[in-house]
Amino acid sequence: MISSRRGNFTFNGIAPEAGLKAALQKGRAGVIGELSASGLKGRGGAGFPTGVKWNLAAAAKSDVKYVVCNADEGEPGTFKDRVILSDFAPLVFEGMTIGGWAIGAKKGVLYLRGEYIYLRPHLEKVLAERRKQNLLGTKILGKDGFDFDIGIRMGSGAYVCGEETALIESLEGHRGEPRNRPPFPVDTGFQNKPTIVNNVETLTWAACILSKGAAWFKKIGTDKSAGLKLYSVSGDCTRPGVYEFPLGITVAKLLGEVGGENAKAVQVGGASGRCVPASEFARTLAFEDVPTGGSIIVFGPQRDMLRVARNFMDFFVEESCGQCTPCREGNVKLLEGLELLEEGRCSMRYLRELCALGETMAVASKCGLGQSSPTAFLSIVQHFQDELMGRMHGR
């Protein structure tokens, strides 16, 4: 395994524990105020404002609360959290500790996907060092009444557990089947206690923001998408890897940086994201335009977009938890449609019916998995219909 890091990372220049010390000085409300002012939104893909989430959990009345770090990075094409956990683990745990301080939690859990089990020894070592330095444990940094510790729990190969309520179900020893929301975890989370579930990268930025100040973060990016973001870049480009860019960067600019200028399309946001064709490379990667958890998959001129769509649908058929009908049955129907296209036996009328089904799945599915699983299918059909129809295979 070689390092995936490309270019400079802000995380490199952050003084150890500067964020945690600032957080203790600012007080709980001060921390949440700083995060809200920074405009930080969830970096896992959903983009929920972090300050709002923490504020709700802080306001919830309970003696027991939890901080959960979502390290179940399973979105195809995403590997930035693996890099953060390998290279910047202390900053992740610092972010979790700041979260614990802000909402009044004593316990944190890092839910690590089973595929990353080889990272666990390193993470346990970092935790042990932090306990020794009194950055975890009781009376952290001498602060009376501030007790917090972190444990690691493993996933076992289930993409859906990246959905926050499925993750909580899994932590509680159940199948990873998402819950109805509301109630939200900030109110009724792990063991029915108020819980913040944040992506690895979100927590790491939270630590940076406390260290460098909300104003620094807010002035980067766009109005609605503040700050920096890590992008996991793979596929047909000469320099794949993890990059740090501001939000609001255009697809074209990013392709230039990674050596993917001749791409015919880019999948933004992984299997659950959308396919952006070359004609739309002027669009920006931002919550208000093309949102992303950071997965960028580049498709060169020779790629068969039907094979791409097929790969994504195989993925969703396999990873749907099977709980709700639109997702369980809908993904199978879309996959069968792609098989018809492969065989050159799909009528335009049927393809349109499948697109209507996809739109139904997006509104009727219970969780984000089913709501977003038709996105890739729909955007590939929309932009590459000509490439998909009338195949001569098997004739």
Partner 1 sequence: MLVTEQEQLKAELQELATRHGRRRDALLPMVQEVQRRHGHVSSYAMQVIADLLDIHPVEVHSVVSFYSFLSARPLGRFVIRVCRTISCDMAGKDRVARQLENDLKIKFGETTPDGQFTLEWANCLGMCDQGPAILVNEQVFTGVTPEQVHGILEQCRRRFSAHALAQTAEHAV
Residue 212 Cβ vs partner 1, minimum distance, rounded to whole Å: 28
- Residue nearer to partner 1 on the CB measure, 20 or 237: 237
Count Cα atoms within 13 angstroms, Cβ side, for 275.
Answer: 25
- Residue nearer to partner 1 on the CB measure, 212 or 264: 264
* 38 in contact with partner 1 (CB under 8 A): no
Chain residues 138-197 in contact with partner 1, contact rule CB under 8 A: 153-159, 170-176, 191
- Residue nearer to partner 1 on the CB measure, 1 or 392: 1
Q: Helix or strand or coil: residue 297?
A: strand
Nearby residues of 147 by Cβ (< 8 Å), 6 or more positions away: 106, 137, 138, 139, 140
* 114 in contact with partner 1 (CB under 8 A): yes
Residue 156 Cβ vs partner 1, minimum distance, rounded to whole Å: 4
Q: Of 1, 15, 348, 392, which lies in the binding site for partner 1, with binding defined by CB under 8 A? A: 1
Q: What's the Cα-to-Cα distance from 14 to each of 64, 81, 192, 201, rounded to whole Å? A: 31, 18, 35, 14
Q: Tally Cβ neighbours within 10 Å of residue 259.
A: 14
The size of the interface with partner 1 (CB under 8 A), counted in residues, is: 54
Q: What's the Cα-to-Cα distance from 8 to each of 217, 234, 242, 366, rounded to whole Å? A: 16, 18, 10, 39
Interface segment toward partner 1; rule CB under 8 A; list 134-142, 214-222, 238-246, 344-352: 238-246
Q: Of 94, 201, 319, 342, which lies in the binding site for partner 1, with binding defined by CB under 8 A? A: 319
Q: Of 66, 93, 101, 116, which lies in the binding site for partner 1, with binding defined by CB under 8 A? A: 116
Q: Of 113, 130, 212, 229, which lies in the binding site for partner 1, with binding defined by CB under 8 A? A: 113
* 75 in contact with partner 1 (CB under 8 A): yes
Q: Are 173 and 84 in contact (CB under 8 A)?
A: no
Q: Of 10, 188, 211, 267, which lies in the binding site for partner 1, with binding defined by CB under 8 A? A: 267
* 238 in contact with partner 1 (CB under 8 A): no
Q: Tally Cβ neighbours within 10 Å of residue 219.
A: 10
Residue 241 Cβ vs partner 1, minimum distance, rounded to whole Å: 5
Report the alpha-carbon distance of residue 60 to residue 56 in Å, rounded. 6
Angle at CA 373, nearest 5°, toward 370 and 377? 145
Sign, CA dihedral 373-374-375-380, equals positive
- Residue nearer to partner 1 on the CB measure, 50 or 323: 323
* 79 in contact with partner 1 (CB under 8 A): yes
Residue 36 Cβ vs partner 1, minimum distance, rounded to whole Å: 31
Q: Of 164, 236, 289, 342, which lies in the binding site for partner 1, with binding defined by CB under 8 A? A: 236
Interface segment toward partner 1; rule CB under 8 A; list 60-68, 94-102, 309-317, 344-352: 309-317
- Residue nearer to partner 1 on the CB measure, 55 or 272: 272
Residue 1 Cβ vs partner 1, minimum distance, rounded to whole Å: 5
Report the alpha-carbon distance of residue 92 to residue 69 in Å, rounded. 9
Q: Of 334, 243, 238, 341, whose CA–CA distance to 292 is shortest?
A: 243
Report the alpha-carbon distance of residue 337 to residue 314 in Å, rounded. 12
* 88 in contact with partner 1 (CB under 8 A): no
**Phi-psi region at 31: left, alpha or beta (left = phi > 0; alpha = psi -120 to 50):** alpha
- Which residues in 97-128 are b (16+ Cβ under 10 Å) and which e? bbbbbbbbbebbbbbbbeebeebeeebeebbe
* 74 in contact with partner 1 (CB under 8 A): yes
- Residue nearer to partner 1 on the CB measure, 46 or 152: 152
Nearby residues of 188 by Cβ (< 8 Å), 6 or more positions away: 194
Residue 327 Cβ vs partner 1, minimum distance, rounded to whole Å: 15
Q: Helix or strand or coil: residue 9?
A: coil
Instruction: Write out the residues near partner 1 by the rule CB under 8 A.
Output: 1-2, 4, 73-79, 81-82, 113-118, 153-159, 170-176, 191, 232-236, 240-242, 267, 271, 297, 303, 307-308, 311-312, 314-315, 318-319, 321
